């Protein structure tokens, strides 16, 4: 094929496609405009890079379609060389890496060859690239395309695929099969909108510097391995394992950022007028639902937002549960955040167990026990930590504490927060942004008291 018009040295951040069936996806993202060549044959149409500029909202990106890595006849080394050149040309960084996976025939046909290729891609790009990966499935069944919950149930049986999706923060969409769905149908539009939203939530770009660190670390370790293998064959397997992880560890170190916060910015709370709003719309002085007691709804005023940021990438505990009407509910909060179990005690989010732990679900009138059916880790952009007067808050229909990190003793922490609440009453506390409020730093100095209580509490439980 002839090379299409490209912008390899564009100053815009890049979105790159790797995998198979990518050109069809690219054309869907462009709203059906045929920007890239496609092919119906089994061989990859994309033998060299194609690119075009795309605008999502007010931002422009360089959209790059790389050579296929599943369905091309090119040798592996040549393919990786082409992809490497694509990355190097993206001098302003790569915002998102769209990794297209074809699922053949019945679900579960995520083949050994695809698994090995995925391992090679992660090794080649570095584990840090997982923060920028968005998986796009193609050739899915009609019911899987229409129902995300059905899709999740189907892939949960494939342990390898489930682990990989957890590693990339469960960012995945489906490129609808155009043999089943018309290009202008709502399901196609919805899937492409979901993909664009993921792209807009990506962290700071994966840069050529990160990629270079991965390459240098990998090549350096390969030389060391060659020498070590000569000295001792009995350590050969251990050395090979180290080599496979050398590049990924370097990339992980390169993109490591300090996290923080408590709730995802996408989380929703309930106001006194029953209106549901996202955390990003929450303000000091708002009155939010904090559950119910003896059949009466409880509301409490937000007197401080002690920790907030919309740019930092944060790891969340993602808790999936079923709402009272049978629909899927999702709660995202940091692993060390507190929430209430069905006995009214606070526990860490990281201690919640699927199919075991009973949480408290607010159904609009009362709190009822609910057992989550799935717990995973997920990366998200931004965080926020609102404090209410009574220290409780219903977030995404689950009763949570406002507190985190310290041993989960709600009454003790409420007592410790009295001076902070009084101060906010006398002199309103301005919204904090990325830095946590100074008063909480002072409290942290006394955290050892709570830790001692927690320690002796565990000893007493162990003896009983």
CATH number of the CATH domain containing 86: 3.40.50.300
**221 within domain boundaries:** yes
How many other CB atoms sit within 10 Å of the CB of residue 462? 7
Band (5; pLDDT cuts 50, 70, 90): very low
Decide if 424 contacts 431 (C-beta within 8 A): no
Q: How far apart are the first and last CA of the chain?
A: 75
For residue 350, the model assigns a pLDDT of: 93
Same domain, 200 and 284: no
What is the DSSP annotation of 413-449? HHHHTHHHHHHHHHSPPPPP-SSPPHHHHHHHHTHHH
In this model, does residue 458 exceed pLDDT 70? no
Band (6; pLDDT cuts 50, 70, 90): very low
Average pLDDT of the residues in 161-166: 87
Per residue in 36-83, pLDDT tens?
555 544 344 444 566 778 888 778 888 887 765 544 444 456 666 666
Most confident of 95-109, 237-251, 415-429, 439-453: 415-429
Same domain, 312 and 349: yes
Residue 204's SS3 state is coil
Average pLDDT of the residues in 189-204: 86
**6 within domain boundaries:** no
Same domain, 304 and 421: yes
Band (370; pLDDT cuts 50, 70, 90): very high
Same domain, 185 and 42: yes
Q: Which domain holds residue 226?
A: 215-255
On average, the pLDDT of the chain sits at: 76
Residue 146's SS3 state is helix
For residue 46, the model assigns a pLDDT of: 44
Same domain, 147 and 184: yes
In this model, does residue 189 exceed pLDDT 80? yes
**74 within domain boundaries:** yes
**260 within domain boundaries:** no
Same domain, 193 and 332: no
**135 within domain boundaries:** yes
Among 197, 223, 255, residue at a domain's last position: 255
Same domain, 187 and 306: no
- Rounded Cα gap, residues 341 and 231, in angstroms: 56
**79 within domain boundaries:** yes
- Rounded Cα gap, residues 20 and 44, in angstroms: 7
Average pLDDT of the residues in 384-412: 91
**9 within domain boundaries:** no
Q: Is 120 left (phi over 0), alpha (psi -120 to 50) or beta?
A: alpha
Same domain, 238 and 192: no
**3 within domain boundaries:** no
In this model, does residue 19 exceed pLDDT 90? no
Same domain, 81 and 164: yes
- Number of domains comprising the chain: 3
Taking alpha carbons only, the member of 297, 298, 278 closest to residue 395 is 278
In this model, does residue 109 exceed pLDDT 70? no
In this model, does residue 90 exceed pLDDT 90? no
Same domain, 230 and 292: no
Same domain, 246 and 164: no
Per residue in 325-366, pLDDT tens?
888 899 999 999 999 999 999 999 999 999 999 999 999 889
Q: What is the pTM assigned to this prediction? A: 0.53
**Phi first, then psi: what are they for 452, rounded to 5°?**
-65, -40
Same domain, 21 and 128: yes
- Rounded Cα gap, residues 339 and 394, in angstroms: 10
- Rounded Cα gap, residues 227 and 394, in angstroms: 59
Question: Which CATH number belongs to the domain containing residue 383 in this structure?
Answer: 2.170.16.10
For residue 246, the model assigns a pLDDT of: 47
For residue 158, the model assigns a pLDDT of: 80
């Amino acid at each position: 094929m002839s090379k299409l018009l490209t912008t390899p040295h564009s100053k815009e951040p890049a979105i790159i496609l790797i995998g198979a069936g990518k050109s069809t996806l690219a054309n869907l993202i462009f709203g059906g405009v045929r920007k890239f060549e496609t092919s119906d044959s089994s061989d990859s149409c994309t033998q060299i890079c194609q690119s075009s500029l795309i605008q999502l909202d007010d931002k422009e990106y360089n959209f790059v379609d790389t050579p296929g890595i599943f369905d091309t006849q090119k040798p592996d080394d040549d393919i990786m060389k082409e992809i490497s050149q694509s990355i190097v040309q993206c001098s302003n960084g790569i915002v998102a890496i769209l990794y297209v996976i074809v699922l053949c025939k019945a679900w579960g046909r995520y083949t050994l060859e695809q698994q090995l290729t995925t391992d090679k891609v992660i090794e080649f790009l570095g584990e840090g690239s997982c923060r920028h990966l968005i998986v796009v499935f193609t050739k899915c069944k009609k019911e899987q395309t229409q129902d995300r919950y059905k899709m999740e149930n189907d892939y949960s049986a494939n342990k390898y695929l489930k682990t990989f999706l957890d590693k990339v923060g469960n960012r995945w969409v489906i490129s609808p099969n155009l043999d089943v769905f018309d290009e202008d149908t709502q399901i196609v539009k919805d899937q492409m909108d979901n993909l664009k939203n993921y792209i807009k939530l990506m962290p700071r770009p994966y840069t050529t510097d990160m990629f270079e660190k991965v390459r240098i670390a990998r090549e350096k370790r390969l030389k060391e391995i060659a020498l070590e293998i000569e000295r001792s064959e009995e350590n050969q397997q251990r050395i090979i394992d180290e080599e496979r992880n050398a590049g990924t560890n370097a990339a992980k170190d390169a993109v490591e950022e300090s996290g923080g916060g408590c709730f995802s910015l996408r989380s929703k709370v309930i106001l006194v007028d029953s209106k549901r709003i996202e955390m990003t719309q929450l303000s000091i002085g708002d009155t939010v639902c904090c559950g119910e007691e003896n059949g009466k709804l409880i509301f409490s005023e937000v007197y401080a937002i002690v920790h907030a940021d919309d740019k930092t990438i944060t790891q969340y505990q993602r808790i999936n549960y079923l709402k009272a009407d049978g629909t899927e509910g999702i709660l995202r909060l940091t692993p060390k955040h507190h929430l209430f179990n069905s006995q009214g005690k606070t526990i860490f989010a990281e201690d919640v167990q699927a199919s075991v732990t009973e949480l408290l679900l607010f159904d609009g009138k009362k709190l009822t026990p609910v057992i989550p059916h799935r717990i995973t880790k997920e990366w998200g952009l931004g965080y926020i930590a609102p404090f209410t007067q009574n220290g409780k808050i219903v977030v995404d229909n689950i009763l949570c504490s406002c507190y985190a990190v310290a041993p989960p003793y709600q009454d003790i922490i409420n007592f410790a927060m009295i001076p902070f609440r009084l101060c906010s009453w006398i002199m309103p506390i301005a919204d904090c942004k990325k830095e946590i409020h100074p008063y909480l730093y002072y409290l942290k100095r006394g955290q050892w008291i709570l830790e001692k209580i927690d320690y002796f509490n565990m000893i007493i439980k162990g003896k009983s």
